[in-house]
Structure 1
């Protein structure tokens, strides 16, 4: 067996695992850690013959590692070494090493928290910080702490910051190993690139294959860029012996195997890959790496509850990993399609998935584990509170957790399925509705990245139904339909994989199938089960309102544009209106009949200023969507009263019928409150602001049955105000804030309380003859402000000291009045004169 750099540290690694039970191994690329370490630890004394489980971030890497280790033992996969990935398991009764991925480890932990048959769990390429790896490590550490002190844990990576991981593992020992890398020449662009990425990459491929020997590995962000680069290369002059092969996670296994297998003699290959080939994978013959410098990652927004795929610059660590692919088997060259100056702005490490992903699967796993609060576990990065809260709200809406956040029976069924919470909820409920077979195919379709694409230059249709029709045609053996429905096409191999996945889940959910009815017309209804927050109502201009409150729009006019209601399975969550990428129409009556719990009915009662009345509407709502809105002839009396009170606040208390009696009574009460001698007045506060803020207590009992301003005109506000006073206050009000004062002429003159600080008595001067002092009110505390009037009732003097007026000012006033009113009585001594309300006093 060839000596590898990792061999030099294996004794130290074994010793530390035996003594401490945990370790962190940092081994540079090419050291051989992935395939050498598990085999070397089979005889570790502490394992006592138990299994080793190694978690790999990617399916292709898991299968490749298992195959390499099996071959090194002279065996086939499934004997000593096997693997478990989604839809593909190769293990046997004698299997000691299982390479697993995609949540398989968490399934093992949920079914057997103590991992009784397992002695060692290895987390490979942990620097990628996938959500599955973080969750798996957290659960393993708690299992080791509470149930299995003898469970060994090993974390491995090529570019890991080991210290935080070692601390998380209880100050575990850190072991480092140099790799075996051949020199790789790095070539940057001389200037910042312009133009389409695919054209830039295609030109770089032509140049590199002309300048260098060997096969090329090209890193692109996603499958769309891979397809477009293939198309660009078809118009360029690549030698005939150069074969272009795609490599991404959506490809079937045989296509992936062709991409990583050695090129046929006399040929060269160019592998167009996503970041799937970044680590844990050796592609035979690779001497050239062409790095676009971009990658695609999912980012989840707790504010919108949606994830979107975002194309971002690679980190320095990822760029170095990609560069290293050219030096695994010999000297190589790495073409970086950016300038050396741009490199300075790259981040050093990528963001852990747990900080940017949809945490609904994590929340479901923790609920099933029995620790719904993440703080109860040990993490390198604690799940963000906002995203985790939103995830639990989604699970509660699905009935997966109860009010105490404990998992329900439905939640356990969801967790056991292996599907995302949304799809699991959809299939389980569809089974109860008798649509389980259709839901299985729809779940399989949605669980994959969209494998369908349009024939034309524009975007593919967002309508999900043609995709289902092509899938069902393939299921029935009609491969001729692959290029048919709605201008969509898909590779038959991709459809085979989806059909196989549907068959696997049919068994998982115990759905009798094979010949059952599958109806693409039911797609919208089933999508509503999975995405109740993405039911969309047309706004009539190509835009939609989502039940979750966000806006959305189709990229172009399509067959489904005429649908009044859609359910969006996929959106890009960009801008004010998210672009709908995948959707199906749904009938609102059909939806209400199948899932009535989505709808709420309410009586909307509110004041309408335009008509000065309360409007009552009966509304049927689906989240933020108003499904129907009709007049409510018999609204709730309490809600109507509250709306009317709100109308009074909105319009101001001037809307009330302040007749003379009511207005004057309010002014008198305000006067008493102002001049109350006690430190804390007990008189009600009838100022406008206080009045409006306390309408419920003094006005609400009197407006029952009223709905409009015209109804309010029937109120007797004077009676309402009097009712707010005690008997003693009513008596004092009459005594201390009289409505009228009798003057010497015998006339009853009204007191004006407009200004509560200075009430006014407006009276003709002649009626006051003989009154020696100013009348006072308020229990003798407040003198009236006397507005003295001429015979024609025009003001001639204002005073609060009548005696002083008689002594001083009267004689000047008398001269003026006598000149203007010579027939009237103007005595020389007003204090002893006879008062009169006539021209002259009666004799």
Structure 2
């Protein structure tokens, strides 16, 4: 074919020159510039490539096929010769292939299987602005390979809308940009009418666009469901005969995708209903009008299922601008936005790594053996820790290291839960059932009913295969499920027809390997309630099909205030559970704090994980266990349950204040202990447990014992330092000692000012405010009348004598005539007594 020209063409020499001099490059180019299909062929003859392969990561299957097909046609070849692609369950490459377009999971597998990347000279990350988790992981792995073993490897990150400067700084890479090709696009907002459904709003917008503007119309919708509804609405409206209506999404057969990506052979106008696959990954000819719903389906962690699910969310402003730009590829265009102009969008798309479930990532990192990879946005520590805990339970990790089972799970390229289930099924018919269940869990629900029985969904699939799909089921969803299950059987090399029947208990017996943390046992006092292996509780609906089952495994939950709600589950056989996981059934003597009875309970428990199957009183518990139970009691009841004295509270406040006032005592060799609530609760075993040894009740701990336990954290030298820097009493000019009161504000995490309450007459002759903490902290003086009533609060005693005392003297002299009120408080003798008689 004759090679068309692209805006990227004039940049190709600079791209080649940059990569000859530097191993990394950030390339920014808008959709339509040609970066996807022109950059890889332009690098084939570079000396640094040495005849090796170029691997380009493309986030979407539709785009991977389209890009490989376009590059192959440019060379007059079939896909699979010089240019090929690999996606899940599909490989179009050969020994001659030098440009390989792969989807995200494929690249990760390549890097894990061969970190040296033998024969690969360049990795290109296309559409990196979409910030998929697999792309972030792939880039992190590639940078590690480049830094450790392959300094000659070229890494090119290509993007349409991204903070290129930040990315270039992160990669320490040159940054090149192409202006692209575009014509003016007129943007208008086309808000919905009151209570108007999306499909009706789309129908009105399409009809107006076809009547007012030339060219094809591209409609951006969140997913297949919305595409189907809009297709039906258009078929019933005025646009039915005005244009051909086509769909474009990742689940379409290859032939239908190819048809959408080519102009209509008869020149008919077209309306293309597309997901965000058309946003930047593929080029649609002839589009002059874009209608944008402003919505997309993006992955979000769903605690109900334990997976990341695709939720409908508002797009970012960068995506809205990119979608509108699709209308200005060939001539002046128009973009209709189906949201109010007042609505503000987030400027950039959030990276998936910040908002999805991370079990797959945690398994990849464990297999790589390097936890300190460089991520553009690091994974959240809490989500990563939860993911590793799940992998331990699934048997994929042991002590933080990947197990042999974990490596086999990783090779399957699916969520670790499903991989564990697929590998655990040993009998062929159970493995075939596991393939069906993996397809069911990954896909959208094929039933329109609210039933919580997973078995009903599998039975609908079996009926569909037999040609009698239930009336309340979606045939298209069941067809997709059947195809996905077939691909899993092929992947597992399982030469067996899908099962025609399966008892409900068998479904649960297979499923338990995917959800060992959600195995539930019926509560003995409430048949609708189940205690789960992870320690939580879950409840059935009143009309549940699972009512009466002693054991269940839950595939999907909904969080609620008290108990979670079971949405999808299957019964399981306890005998099978004991056979599969004998190590998780334990008999243990426990001495625990019973919060309801506010007492120690000694019991012998039979448990499966955290499910208590049987509990009986223990006649002679081990006395050593009582201290642990009492520590748990304090952890539950709080530190106020301990016998604090005012003296001990003051000592604790003095230590906390000194750490804040004098930074040298907060860290280092002279550091005083952290006595905050959080620190004391975190270290109960260290300081409190020894004091509880031999005790069977919390109230047996005495005040003195508590004080000794708390002070045991400070040696003799430090105690002397505390007394010197934060004394409990101070000698005032009257010759008497007066108490200093300390306090700490937990809400503000700051010390309160120390207070010295003293009668005014006791300070005569004292010029300046007393100070503590090595002279750094002034006391707050509460100056009292002879009757002990407050007269003034100040930290400026000198100022009080100069400015305030004369007024105080005038007012108090008549009220307390028997006490001295000298004209000159600077030289008067301090006293705590009244004047002698006769004076």
What does residue 417 of structure 2 align with? 422
CA distances 1:330-352 after superposition (whole Å, capped 9, x unpaired):
3332110112221xx21110111
What does residue 47 of structure 2 align with? 45
What does residue 444 of structure 2 align with? 450
How many residue pairs match? The answer is: 643
Partner SS, residue 132 of structure 1: helix
User: Which 5+ residue runs of structure 2 have no aligned equivalent?
Assistant: 638-687, 701-839
- Native 8 Å contact 1:59 1:85 kept in 2: yes
What does residue 156 of structure 1 align with? 158
How far apart are the structure 1 equivalents of 2:81 and 2:301?
Answer: 41
What does residue 629 of structure 1 align with? 614
What does residue 34 of structure 1 align with? 36
How far apart are the structure 2 equivalents of 1:130 and 1:543?
Answer: 39
Corresponding position: 1:532 with 2:516: yes
- Native 8 Å contact 1:306 1:573 kept in 2: no
Task: Note the C-alpha offset of 1:586.
Answer: 2.5
How far apart are the structure 2 equivalents of 1:553 and 1:98?
Answer: 50
Cα pair distance change 1:310/1:111, threshold 3 Å: same
How far apart are the structure 1 equivalents of 2:632 and 2:72?
Answer: 80
What does residue 273 of structure 1 align with? 274
How far apart are the structure 2 equivalents of 1:67 and 1:370?
Answer: 37
Cα pair distance change 1:19/1:193, threshold 3 Å: farther
Cα pair distance change 1:467/1:58, threshold 3 Å: same
What does residue 382 of structure 1 align with? 378
Matches within 5 A, 1:134-149: 134-149=136-151
How far apart are the structure 2 equivalents of 1:52 and 1:269?
Answer: 36
Deviates more, 1:234-243 or 1:382-391: 234-243
How far apart are the structure 2 equivalents of 1:195 and 1:519?
Answer: 44
Task: Note the C-alpha offset of 1:611.
Answer: 9.3
How far apart are the structure 1 equivalents of 2:406 and 2:115?
Answer: 18
What does residue 330 of structure 1 align with? 331
Cα pair distance change 1:407/1:696, threshold 3 Å: closer
Corresponding position: 1:595 with 2:581: yes
What does residue 353 of structure 1 align with? 352
How far apart are the structure 2 equivalents of 1:379 and 1:469?
Answer: 44
Task: Note the C-alpha offset of 1:277.
Answer: 2.1
Cα pair distance change 1:583/1:250, threshold 3 Å: farther
Corresponding position: 1:197 with 2:192: no
Matches within 5 A, 1:144-543: 144-170=146-172, 172-189=173-190, 194-233=195-234, 235-240=236-241, 242-263=243-264, 265=266, 267-300=268-301, 307-342=308-343, 345-371=344-370, 373=371, 375=372, 377-403=373-399, 405-431=400-426, 435-447=430-442, 449-450=443-444, 452-454=446-448, 459=449, 461-472=451-462, 478=466, 480-483=467-470, 487=473, 489-491=475-477, 493-507=479-493, 511=494, 513-514=496-497, 519=502, 521=504, 522-537=506-521
Task: Note the C-alpha offset of 1:398.
Answer: 2.0
Task: Note the C-alpha offset of 1:33.
Answer: 0.7
User: Which 5+ residue runs of structure 1 have no aligned equivalent?
Assistant: 652-691, 704-711, 713-843
What does residue 72 of structure 1 align with? 74
Deviates more, 1:283-292 or 1:244-253: 244-253
- Native 8 Å contact 1:107 1:416 kept in 2: yes
- Native 8 Å contact 1:461 1:488 kept in 2: no
TM-score, normalised by the number of residues in structure 2: 0.69
How far apart are the structure 2 equivalents of 1:380 and 1:266?
Answer: 46
Cα pair distance change 1:624/1:74, threshold 3 Å: same
Task: Note the C-alpha offset of 1:451.
Answer: 5.8
How far apart are the structure 2 equivalents of 1:367 and 1:316?
Answer: 36
- Native 8 Å contact 1:184 1:323 kept in 2: yes
Deviates more, 1:617-626 or 1:605-614: 605-614
Deviates more, 1:76-85 or 1:563-572: 563-572
Cα pair distance change 1:332/1:425, threshold 3 Å: same
Task: Note the C-alpha offset of 1:546.
Answer: 4.2
Partner SS, residue 322 of structure 2: helix
Matches within 5 A, 1:737-756: none
How far apart are the structure 2 equivalents of 1:575 and 1:335?
Answer: 42
Task: Note the C-alpha offset of 1:380.
Answer: 0.8
Corresponding position: 1:60 with 2:62: yes
CA distances 1:770-823 after superposition (whole Å, capped 9, x unpaired):
xxxxxxxxxxxxxxxxxxxxxxxxxxxxxxxxxxxxxxxxxxxxxxxxxxxxxx
- Native 8 Å contact 1:309 1:572 kept in 2: no
CA distances 1:589-645 after superposition (whole Å, capped 9, x unpaired):
44233333444444455687999997655544444544x335346564548977999
Partner SS, residue 341 of structure 1: coil
How far apart are the structure 2 equivalents of 1:298 and 1:555?
Answer: 28
CA distances 1:212-234 after superposition (whole Å, capped 9, x unpaired):
34333222223333344345445
What does residue 766 of structure 1 align with? none
Partner SS, residue 103 of structure 1: helix
Cα pair distance change 1:189/1:261, threshold 3 Å: same
How far apart are the structure 2 equivalents of 1:380 and 1:94?
Answer: 34
- Native 8 Å contact 2:624 2:693 kept in 1: no
- Native 8 Å contact 1:59 1:102 kept in 2: no
Partner SS, residue 559 of structure 1: coil
Partner SS, residue 84 of structure 1: strand
CA distances 1:524-552 after superposition (whole Å, capped 9, x unpaired):
22222111222345675866554334555
- Native 8 Å contact 1:542 1:557 kept in 2: no
- Native 8 Å contact 2:304 2:557 kept in 1: no
Deviates more, 1:27-36 or 1:293-302: 293-302
How far apart are the structure 2 equivalents of 1:462 and 1:115?
Answer: 47
